[in-house]
Amino acid sequence: MEDFEYYMKNNKVKAIVLQVDSPGGSVVSCEEAFSYLKELKEKYNKPIIASFRGVAASGGYYLAMIADKIYANETTLTGSIGVISQFINVSELIQAIGIKNYTIKSGKNKDSFSPFRAPREDEIAYWQSMTDEFVAQFTNVVLTSRGDRIKGNYSELFDGRVFSGKSAQKYGLVDNIGTLRDAIKDAAEMVNLNAEEPNIITKPVNKSNILNYLLAKAPMINTSFKYPYEEIINGQYIGVPMYLYIPNYIGE
Protein backbone atom coordinates (compact mmCIF):
# COMPACT_ATOMS: atom_id res chain seq x y z
CA MET A 1 0.00 0.00 0.00
CA GLU A 2 2.92 2.34 0.69
CA ASP A 3 4.25 1.65 -2.81
CA PHE A 4 0.89 2.36 -4.40
CA GLU A 5 0.54 5.57 -2.41
CA TYR A 6 4.01 6.66 -3.55
CA TYR A 7 3.08 6.33 -7.21
CA MET A 8 -0.31 7.97 -6.82
CA LYS A 9 1.15 11.01 -5.04
CA ASN A 10 4.13 11.34 -7.40
CA ASN A 11 3.35 14.15 -9.88
CA LYS A 12 5.69 12.64 -12.46
CA VAL A 13 3.55 9.48 -12.63
CA LYS A 14 0.75 9.88 -15.17
CA ALA A 15 -0.57 6.29 -15.22
CA ILE A 16 -0.06 3.12 -13.18
CA VAL A 17 0.33 -0.48 -14.30
CA LEU A 18 -0.62 -2.89 -11.53
CA GLN A 19 0.84 -6.35 -12.11
CA VAL A 20 -1.13 -9.08 -10.34
CA ASP A 21 0.18 -12.57 -9.60
CA SER A 22 -1.78 -13.75 -6.58
CA PRO A 23 -4.35 -16.39 -5.57
CA GLY A 24 -5.82 -13.98 -3.00
CA GLY A 25 -5.94 -13.92 0.77
CA SER A 26 -8.12 -13.07 3.73
CA VAL A 27 -11.42 -11.26 3.26
CA VAL A 28 -10.41 -8.43 5.59
CA SER A 29 -7.02 -7.86 3.93
CA CYS A 30 -8.53 -7.72 0.46
CA GLU A 31 -11.30 -5.36 1.48
CA GLU A 32 -8.96 -3.02 3.36
CA ALA A 33 -6.51 -2.91 0.46
CA PHE A 34 -9.23 -2.33 -2.14
CA SER A 35 -10.88 0.37 -0.04
CA TYR A 36 -7.61 2.27 0.26
CA LEU A 37 -6.79 1.86 -3.44
CA LYS A 38 -10.22 3.23 -4.29
CA GLU A 39 -9.70 6.20 -1.96
CA LEU A 40 -6.35 7.02 -3.60
CA LYS A 41 -7.79 6.66 -7.11
CA GLU A 42 -10.67 9.01 -6.36
CA LYS A 43 -8.26 11.55 -4.88
CA TYR A 44 -5.54 11.51 -7.57
CA ASN A 45 -7.56 10.30 -10.57
CA LYS A 46 -4.80 8.48 -12.47
CA PRO A 47 -5.51 5.72 -15.00
CA ILE A 48 -4.73 2.22 -13.73
CA ILE A 49 -4.12 -0.76 -16.01
CA ALA A 50 -3.94 -4.24 -14.45
CA SER A 51 -1.71 -6.92 -15.97
CA PHE A 52 -2.35 -10.54 -14.90
CA ARG A 53 0.45 -13.09 -14.81
CA GLY A 54 0.10 -16.77 -13.88
CA VAL A 55 -2.76 -16.43 -11.38
CA ALA A 56 -4.98 -13.46 -10.58
CA ALA A 57 -7.76 -15.22 -8.73
CA SER A 58 -10.19 -14.56 -5.91
CA GLY A 59 -8.66 -11.77 -3.81
CA GLY A 60 -6.11 -11.17 -6.57
CA TYR A 61 -8.99 -10.53 -8.97
CA TYR A 62 -10.83 -8.49 -6.31
CA LEU A 63 -7.97 -5.96 -6.06
CA ALA A 64 -7.82 -5.66 -9.85
CA MET A 65 -11.31 -4.14 -9.79
CA ILE A 66 -9.57 -0.83 -9.11
CA ALA A 67 -8.24 -0.90 -12.69
CA ASP A 68 -9.77 0.90 -15.66
CA LYS A 69 -8.65 -1.92 -17.94
CA ILE A 70 -7.36 -5.46 -17.41
CA TYR A 71 -4.85 -7.42 -19.49
CA ALA A 72 -4.30 -11.16 -19.06
CA ASN A 73 -2.28 -13.84 -20.78
CA GLU A 74 -4.31 -16.50 -22.56
CA THR A 75 -3.20 -19.07 -19.97
CA THR A 76 -3.68 -16.89 -16.89
CA LEU A 77 -5.92 -18.45 -14.25
CA THR A 78 -8.36 -15.84 -13.05
CA GLY A 79 -11.85 -15.45 -11.61
CA SER A 80 -12.52 -17.70 -8.61
CA ILE A 81 -15.04 -15.10 -7.46
CA GLY A 82 -16.16 -16.51 -4.14
CA VAL A 83 -15.43 -17.12 -0.48
CA ILE A 84 -14.03 -20.17 1.28
CA SER A 85 -13.70 -21.12 4.95
CA GLN A 86 -12.05 -24.38 5.93
CA PHE A 87 -12.31 -26.34 9.16
CA ILE A 88 -10.64 -29.50 10.41
CA ASN A 89 -12.65 -32.07 12.36
CA VAL A 90 -10.97 -34.88 14.31
CA SER A 91 -13.92 -35.90 16.45
CA GLU A 92 -14.15 -39.44 15.05
CA LEU A 93 -10.40 -39.92 15.41
CA ILE A 94 -10.22 -38.89 19.06
CA GLN A 95 -13.29 -41.01 19.82
CA ALA A 96 -11.65 -44.02 18.18
CA ILE A 97 -8.49 -43.72 20.29
CA GLY A 98 -10.38 -43.04 23.50
CA ILE A 99 -9.64 -39.34 24.05
CA LYS A 100 -12.32 -37.28 25.80
CA ASN A 101 -12.76 -33.57 25.32
CA TYR A 102 -14.55 -31.26 27.77
CA THR A 103 -15.53 -27.74 26.71
CA ILE A 104 -16.85 -25.12 29.13
CA LYS A 105 -18.63 -22.42 27.16
CA SER A 106 -20.97 -19.49 27.66
CA GLY A 107 -23.29 -20.28 24.75
CA LYS A 108 -23.93 -23.04 22.26
CA ASN A 109 -22.06 -21.22 19.48
CA LYS A 110 -18.96 -20.30 21.46
CA ASP A 111 -17.19 -23.39 20.11
CA SER A 112 -18.73 -23.18 16.66
CA PHE A 113 -17.10 -25.73 14.33
CA SER A 114 -14.94 -27.12 17.10
CA PRO A 115 -12.64 -29.82 15.67
CA PHE A 116 -13.51 -32.05 18.63
CA ARG A 117 -17.20 -32.62 17.84
CA ALA A 118 -19.38 -33.05 14.77
CA PRO A 119 -20.86 -29.73 13.54
CA ARG A 120 -24.56 -29.11 14.02
CA GLU A 121 -26.83 -28.35 11.07
CA ASP A 122 -27.60 -24.86 12.40
CA GLU A 123 -23.86 -24.12 12.56
CA ILE A 124 -23.39 -25.07 8.93
CA ALA A 125 -26.38 -22.94 7.93
CA TYR A 126 -25.06 -19.97 9.92
CA TRP A 127 -21.60 -20.10 8.32
CA GLN A 128 -23.17 -20.50 4.90
CA SER A 129 -25.27 -17.37 5.43
CA MET A 130 -22.17 -15.45 6.49
CA THR A 131 -20.30 -16.75 3.44
CA ASP A 132 -23.18 -15.59 1.23
CA GLU A 133 -22.89 -12.15 2.82
CA PHE A 134 -19.16 -11.94 2.07
CA VAL A 135 -19.50 -13.17 -1.51
CA ALA A 136 -22.25 -10.59 -2.07
CA GLN A 137 -19.67 -7.93 -1.17
CA PHE A 138 -17.25 -9.45 -3.69
CA THR A 139 -19.77 -9.66 -6.53
CA ASN A 140 -20.99 -6.13 -5.81
CA VAL A 141 -17.42 -4.82 -6.26
CA VAL A 142 -17.09 -6.75 -9.54
CA LEU A 143 -20.45 -5.56 -10.87
CA THR A 144 -19.77 -1.97 -9.86
CA SER A 145 -16.41 -2.05 -11.64
CA ARG A 146 -17.28 -4.17 -14.68
CA GLY A 147 -21.05 -4.65 -14.74
CA ASP A 148 -21.52 -3.25 -18.24
CA ARG A 149 -18.68 -5.40 -19.62
CA ILE A 150 -19.61 -8.77 -18.11
CA LYS A 151 -21.35 -11.21 -20.43
CA GLY A 152 -22.89 -14.45 -19.26
CA ASN A 153 -24.83 -16.06 -16.47
CA TYR A 154 -23.89 -14.47 -13.14
CA SER A 155 -24.69 -17.65 -11.19
CA GLU A 156 -22.01 -19.45 -13.19
CA LEU A 157 -19.46 -16.65 -13.40
CA PHE A 158 -19.65 -16.02 -9.66
CA ASP A 159 -19.69 -19.60 -8.37
CA GLY A 160 -15.98 -19.74 -7.52
CA ARG A 161 -14.74 -21.35 -10.74
CA VAL A 162 -11.51 -20.21 -12.39
CA PHE A 163 -11.20 -19.20 -16.02
CA SER A 164 -8.33 -19.07 -18.47
CA GLY A 165 -7.43 -15.59 -19.62
CA LYS A 166 -8.98 -16.35 -22.99
CA SER A 167 -12.29 -17.44 -21.46
CA ALA A 168 -12.20 -14.52 -19.02
CA GLN A 169 -12.02 -12.12 -21.96
CA LYS A 170 -14.96 -13.87 -23.60
CA TYR A 171 -17.09 -13.30 -20.49
CA GLY A 172 -15.87 -9.75 -19.91
CA LEU A 173 -13.91 -10.51 -16.75
CA VAL A 174 -10.82 -9.06 -18.45
CA ASP A 175 -10.56 -6.66 -21.36
CA ASN A 176 -7.58 -7.71 -23.45
CA ILE A 177 -5.20 -10.59 -24.00
CA GLY A 178 -1.65 -9.30 -23.73
CA THR A 179 1.59 -9.11 -21.80
CA LEU A 180 2.89 -6.63 -19.26
CA ARG A 181 4.52 -4.79 -22.15
CA ASP A 182 1.13 -4.45 -23.86
CA ALA A 183 -0.37 -3.07 -20.65
CA ILE A 184 2.45 -0.54 -20.29
CA LYS A 185 2.03 0.59 -23.88
CA ASP A 186 -1.73 1.02 -23.42
CA ALA A 187 -1.23 2.97 -20.19
CA ALA A 188 1.14 5.35 -21.97
CA GLU A 189 -1.30 5.88 -24.83
CA MET A 190 -4.09 6.67 -22.37
CA VAL A 191 -2.16 9.68 -21.09
CA ASN A 192 -0.64 10.72 -24.44
CA LEU A 193 2.91 9.58 -23.70
CA ASN A 194 5.36 7.87 -26.04
CA ALA A 195 3.88 4.37 -26.12
CA GLU A 196 7.00 2.77 -27.57
CA GLU A 197 9.44 4.18 -25.03
CA PRO A 198 7.56 5.40 -21.96
CA ASN A 199 9.53 6.55 -18.94
CA ILE A 200 8.85 3.86 -16.34
CA ILE A 201 9.21 5.26 -12.82
CA THR A 202 10.34 2.91 -10.05
CA LYS A 203 10.20 3.73 -6.35
CA PRO A 204 13.68 3.93 -4.76
CA VAL A 205 14.40 0.91 -2.56
CA ASN A 206 15.70 1.73 0.91
CA LYS A 207 18.47 -0.26 2.57
CA SER A 208 16.20 -2.21 4.90
CA ASN A 209 14.10 -3.39 1.94
CA ILE A 210 17.24 -4.47 0.09
CA LEU A 211 18.35 -6.45 3.14
CA ASN A 212 14.97 -8.15 3.42
CA TYR A 213 15.11 -9.02 -0.28
CA LEU A 214 18.59 -10.54 0.03
CA LEU A 215 17.60 -12.51 3.12
CA ALA A 216 14.54 -13.85 1.33
CA LYS A 217 16.76 -15.02 -1.52
CA ALA A 218 19.41 -16.59 0.72
CA PRO A 219 19.49 -20.42 0.28
CA MET A 220 19.90 -21.06 4.01
CA ILE A 221 16.52 -19.57 4.88
CA ASN A 222 14.74 -19.69 1.54
CA THR A 223 12.46 -22.53 2.69
CA SER A 224 10.82 -20.25 5.25
CA PHE A 225 9.44 -18.15 2.38
CA LYS A 226 8.74 -20.98 -0.04
CA TYR A 227 5.29 -22.29 0.83
CA PRO A 228 2.49 -19.75 0.22
CA TYR A 229 -0.18 -21.49 2.29
CA GLU A 230 1.88 -22.09 5.41
CA GLU A 231 -0.56 -19.93 7.37
CA ILE A 232 -3.41 -22.25 6.43
CA ILE A 233 -1.47 -25.42 7.17
CA ASN A 234 -0.30 -24.27 10.59
CA GLY A 235 -3.84 -23.30 11.51
CA GLN A 236 -3.58 -19.51 11.41
CA TYR A 237 -6.48 -19.20 8.96
CA ILE A 238 -8.55 -22.26 9.80
CA GLY A 239 -12.10 -21.00 10.19
CA VAL A 240 -11.28 -17.57 8.69
CA PRO A 241 -13.26 -16.58 5.55
CA MET A 242 -10.89 -16.13 2.62
CA TYR A 243 -11.00 -14.67 -0.86
CA LEU A 244 -8.56 -17.39 -1.91
CA TYR A 245 -7.97 -19.79 -4.77
CA ILE A 246 -6.69 -22.88 -2.96
CA PRO A 247 -4.27 -24.80 -5.28
CA ASN A 248 -0.62 -24.61 -4.29
CA TYR A 249 0.55 -21.80 -6.55
CA ILE A 250 3.80 -19.93 -5.91
CA GLY A 251 3.62 -16.58 -7.66
CA GLU A 252 6.42 -14.18 -8.44
Q: Which residues are catalytic?
A: 58, 110
Distance CA 189, CA 2 (A): 26
CB 57 within 8 A of CB 21: no
Terminal CA-CA length for the chain: 18
Other beta carbons within 10 Å of 56: 35
